[in-house]
Chain A
Amino acid sequence: GEDVEQSLFLSVREGDSSVINCTYTDSSSTYLYWYKQEPGAGLQLLTYIFSNMDMKQDQRLTVLLNKKDKHLSLRIADTQTGDSAIYFCAEVKAAGNKLTFGGGTRVLVKP
């Protein structure tokens, strides 16, 4: 089956690190993505990771993948007020196939 779960809400102080967690159930997932949605905007691709990787770093973003526990996380270093948004994790089994999304985590950055 396929189900992707995320916590609903995260509050963080400006300058701190944010960690957004995601769990998935389908072990055949091959690509895992993080999308960001700001108010009134579409889904902006932030980063992705292959299922055969454990970690990927991209500037302030670090993605960790624990395949054994089917757990994905996104760490945002030095969180800024502009990082306030809803963050979605998504999985896909093969390139071009449908994305299966989590419910989204609303991140609120307080000054």
Chain B
Amino acid sequence: EPEVTQTPSHQVTQMGQEVILRCVPISNHLYFYWYRQILGQKVEFLVSFYNNEISEKSEIFDDQFSVERPDGSNFTLKIRSTKLEDSAMYFCASRKLAGGYTDTQYFGPGTRLTVL
């Protein structure tokens, strides 16, 4: 069964460094998402992406964040200058498109980002 994959599973970085989190969505999906979960807190929406542009973003998704679909398979989240408070589990999700109640978001296993 197709699934969303994410790499790396764990990333440790120094404050101020740039990180790129990678996702490979399900191949025939067209909508892509990033969410994050700070330890002990709720899963929060960051950004959605469709047709090579951001369709919606949250207030968390400031100028330090960017997303890109550099080729036909990868979807990346870049944090330009990481802060301690960026430490979290980052989840990628994808959706096929077309409405209806069967149209759901499928999640990857997450990347745990630790900023020291």
Contacts and interface: CB of A to CB of B under 8 A. Distances in A.
A100 B109 contact: no
A44 B93 CA distance: 11
A50 B100 CA distance: 10
Given A42-B109, A42-B110, A96 B31 contact: yes
A88 B91 CA distance: 14
B34 to A, nearest CB: 10
B32 to A, nearest CB: 11
* Interface range, B side: 20 to 34
Contacts of B101: 31, 48, 50, 95
A99 B103 contact: no
Contacts, number: 60
* Interface range, A side: 20 to 34
Given A95-B103, A101-B44, A103-B41, 8 more contacts: A43-B91, A90-B43, A94-B99, A96-B48, A96-B95, A96-B103, A98-B33, A99-B35
Interface of A: 4, 31, 33, 35, 40-45, 48, 50, 88, 90, 94-104
Interface of B: 4, 6, 31, 33, 35, 41-45, 48, 50, 56, 58, 91, 93, 95, 97, 99-101, 103-110
8 contacts: A4-B42, A31-B101, A35-B107, A42-B91, A95-B103, A97-B56, A99-B45, A104-B43
